[in-house]
Chains A and B, each alone.
Chain A
Amino acid sequence: MELSDVPYTRADFIETASGNKVSRHSVLCGSQNITLNGKTIIQRDCVIRGDLANIGIGRHCVIDRGTVLRPSFKKFSKGVSFYPLHIGDHVFIESDCVISAGDIGSYCYIGRGAVIGRRCVIRECSSIAEGCIVPPETVIPPHTYFDGSTMVSVGDMPECTKDLMI
């Protein structure tokens, strides 16, 4: 089905020169460390923790309501260090997700309520099902669809995922 146009109140969003639309009701901590590459939409009630580490988000991304982007950390004997979080282009993150991943490739889809564990690497054109819990330090290869709490590869994403995500 063709996606319907979602009307929004202009006053509720801050629109930057490069076309990023950030909701005034979202929480962006450490905004100097957050990079939005253009035409990205951040919906209300999102929490982006740029105060912990650098967060880079690509072009044409959509981060839906209530999602938390929180960079992961590693304990050392002398303290704690946070890993930067990179999100590619054309990534669609549904509502109420918790993202601690290290790297999300381009053209990915993350279903509603998914929890991505620390230092996960999600390659291009992959999808995470609704409610899926991705264990820490997981590498998801390209064109893969993961479902369930045990993260089993259920099938392959179609080869034209790039065109479907645009």
Chain B
Amino acid sequence: MTSFLPGLLKNNSVVNYRCSCSKLSPVYRQYFCRYCLCLRCWYCVSHEPDSFFCGNCLESMPSTEAKMKRNRCGNCLCCPVCIHTLSVRATSQTIRDATDPTKNITKKQYYLACAQCRWTSRDIGMADKPQSSGLWQDPENQHLARIEELSEYYQSVATAERLEKERKKVSVRRRSLTMYDRQTGRRRSSFMSSLSSLNLSLSPSVQPPVNAPAASSLADITPLPEEFYTVAMEIGDSTTLLQRHAAPERQPTSIRDLQPLHRQLVLRRNSRCRKCEHNLCKPDYVPSSSKFKIELLALHHVPEIKIVHGYNAIGYNTEERVVLSVTNPSDQSTSITLEPLSNRELNDVTATIIPPSLQLQIGAKDDMAEFDDVVDDEKAVKDDPDIVVFRKTNRIHVVTMVTAHKCTGDVIVALRISYNYTNTATALQNKGESPPAVSQLEQSLIINLGQVQV
């Protein structure tokens, strides 16, 4: 059994829709702005961070807290060798009772272990802890004080520059505001009185702190020890570059110096239309939920066209029958028209497609249809079997004829689909007083039918 998902996962979709910015991408990767009534691809939307959460414990945290914790989870630790999440293992240890030497006490001790590479905290000499969480302390960062000094200094410099800019803007406005009114010839005193309420001083700009610690260069560099020249290096003992850069503050060179790392947080993002600034996709706050607060996806608003299996390989200059499936995503029935597009309108077209020229009706999406065995013959649409070979609720299969005009490469055809779109956004804004507006929309798409057969 084959599945379409491998193509989706590898991002090589055969049917690509043209976005409003003229880029091509699959319909399941695009959004639909129902205020602008057009498709928005990944590059047409602005991505904003919504919240951060840990991929292991699924604990959510706001962006300020994530910034304080340097985008790391406080509870979950990763293996320094393979970056897999560490799990806590328990062992029991028998020790003598301090009060009664003749008695033995069994105590539980905990250590960290990696299920993928079998690394344990005992490999680096870390002692077992009596509790499973809270006692795994991070090693001290010897550069932390210096980094904090530098960041405070640069923050103060940035604040001073910002204040200087604002001071210059206000002083320019004050000079322009002392001009005389053109009509009456009087001074504009109202502006002066409003300015006097502001505590602005024209004193010299705020100076950055003088005590900024400067970096000092080393005059004497300690030479390499003799071992580097005489003792053969053990490759198994040294860390890889990825392992060193995973802990940039220490950059351990030996595997014995590796320490568990805090797991990096995962970002949840909002997508917003760049033109009208409306939110197109906003996930739920709970990290374990796959629902969305706002979900304006193209797949829910634009008819989806797919190729139906079972067509012959298309030969050069021979007409072949290709069946396309068209799915209506909306809960209102729609009528569609398919038109071919030439190479002038879309590049890389190597074949022509002749879709049916008449308007086709597609039913509304009905979630209860799979449970309904009764077929209403009166409402059933009578199709020409040469044009529509299959019909079921909101999906039809349409016959098209394709002719390849190049003897090498892929057979690529271009289509335009026109359909009726019922915009419920306007109806919601008017609080149901007016019926939802029906618009005629068009989408262009490119279909890759595989290699041409010579």
Contact = CB atoms under 8 A, between A and B. Distances in A.
Interface of A: 1-4, 6, 43, 62, 64, 92, 94-95, 105-107, 109, 111, 117, 123-125, 127, 129-130, 135-145, 147, 150-151, 153, 158-164
A139 B56 contact: yes
A64 B5 CA distance: 15
Interface stretch (B182-190, B249-257, B285-293, B356-364): B285-293
B115 A136 contact: yes
A137 B266 CA distance: 18
Nearest to A150: B82
Interface stretch (B95-103, B172-180, B222-230, B304-312): B304-312
Contact of A160 (B4, B299, B306): B299
B7 interface: yes
Interface of A is mostly: loop
B202 to A, nearest CB: 53
B297 interface: yes
Contact of A142 (B5, B87, B288, B295): B288
Nearest to A165: B5
Given A1-B309, A135-B115, A160-B299, A141 B287 contact: yes
A25 to B, nearest CB: 15
Contact of A92 (B3, B289, B292, B310): B3
B5 A2 contact: no
Nearest to B13: A1
Nearest to A105: B290
A60 B290 CA distance: 18
5 tightest A-B CB contacts, nearest first: A4-B309, A135-B116, A124-B290, A136-B115, A141-B55
21 contacts: A1-B14, A2-B307, A2-B309, A2-B325, A3-B309, A6-B1, A62-B1, A92-B5, A94-B3, A109-B3, A127-B5, A137-B85, A142-B290, A143-B290, A151-B84, A158-B8, A158-B29, A161-B290, A162-B290, A164-B28, A164-B299
Contacts of B6: 111, 130
Interface of B: 1-9, 14, 28-29, 53, 55-58, 82-85, 87, 115-116, 266, 281, 283, 287-290, 292, 295, 297, 299-300, 306-310, 325
Contacts of B28: 158, 160, 163-164
B236 to A, nearest CB: 19
Contact of A107 (B9, B290, B295, B309): B290
- Which one of B55, B82, B307 has the greatest number of beta carbons of chain A within 10 Å? B55
Given A2-B309, A123-B288, A135-B84, 9 more contacts: A2-B4, A105-B290, A117-B115, A136-B115, A141-B58, A142-B287, A144-B55, A151-B84, A163-B299
Contacts of A129: 9
Contact of B292 (A95, A117, A141, A159): A159
Given A1-B307, A123-B290, A158-B29, A139 B5 contact: no
Contact of B310 (A4, A138, A143): A4
Contacts of B290: 105-107, 123-125, 142-143, 161-162
Contacts of A161: 290
Contacts of B289: 142
Contacts of A144: 55
B297 A160 contact: yes
A161 B295 CA distance: 12
Contacts of A140: 55
Nearest to A124: B290
Contacts of A2: 4, 306-309, 325
A153 B14 CA distance: 24
Contacts of A94: 1, 3
A150 to B, nearest CB: 7
B171 to A, nearest CB: 49
A103 to B, nearest CB: 11
Nearest to A130: B6
Contacts of A153: 55, 266
B1 A139 contact: no
